[in-house]
A and B are shown apart, each in its own frame.
Chain A
Amino acid sequence: AQSVTQPDIHITVSEGASLELRCNYSYGATPYLFWYVQSPGQGLQLLLKYFSGDTLVQGIKGFEAEFKRSQSSFNLRKPSVHWSDAAEYFCAVGAHSNDYKLSFGAGTTVTVRA
């Protein structure tokens, strides 16, 4: 079965600084990979997804993520963080072995300081 690890529980970053959130997955083949963002008390909003092709994917709100097969990683990045980016971020994986139902990582909480 596939699994997802987000090593960082909480990250604090200054407004305007760059942000990188780590995601590692465990699966024998290439899964489908997603990043979602959740603001307090809200549902999940899709930031970006990787299915195949170009390993650098662009998403909404200025986010991008890079799939690295050799490292089984799909890290999320943003060059310059805004205060509105404070939220919880979830990496998720869908795999053929599980009918592509999503398995989520434990999430990373991002705090943005002024």
Chain B
Amino acid sequence: DAMVIQNPRYQVTQFGKPVTLSCSQTLNHNVMYWYQQKSSQAPKLLFHYYDKDFNNEADTPDNFQSRRPNTSFCFLDIRSPGLGDAAMYLCATSRDIGTGAMNTEAFFGQGTRLTVV
């Protein structure tokens, strides 16, 4: 009974070829996050959705976009992947944001390992 599901677990894409990573949740949480985690580094927040409102982190490259067509699904689009975009991409959810402890606890998926060739 996985709660945050990422597909695929492993993705190989060609340099410059657009790629989409998928995340779904069964928790009915308002907030969905995308993190990038490069090898041996901490996860780095790219952006999050609060319901339909998109919030980009200041240093997230324009090459990264996201879509959230409904509460359950969120997609990460990389328009022109470069070698430096090879990483683990983690999706997470939380019930709310900025409203206190229990509502902001994050639940993570298993991640998608992206390889760029």
Query: A51-B101, A99-B98, A102-B45 known; A44 and B40 CB under 8 Å?
Result: no
Flag the segment in B13-21, B73-81, B102-110 that touches A. B102-110
**Contact-residue bracket for chain A:** 20 to 34
Judging by beta carbons under 8 Å apart, are A104 and B97 in contact?
no
Please, which residue of chain B has its CB at the minimum distance from the CB of A32?
A: B101
**Contact-residue bracket for chain B:** 20 to 34
B: residues with CB less than 8 A from A are 4, 6, 33, 40-45, 48, 90, 92, 97-98, 100-102, 104-111, 113
Chain A residue contacts of B44, Cβ below 8 A: 104
Query: A44-B43, A99-B97, A105-B42 known; A32 and B109 CB under 8 Å?
Result: no
Chain A residue contacts of B109, Cβ below 8 A: 43
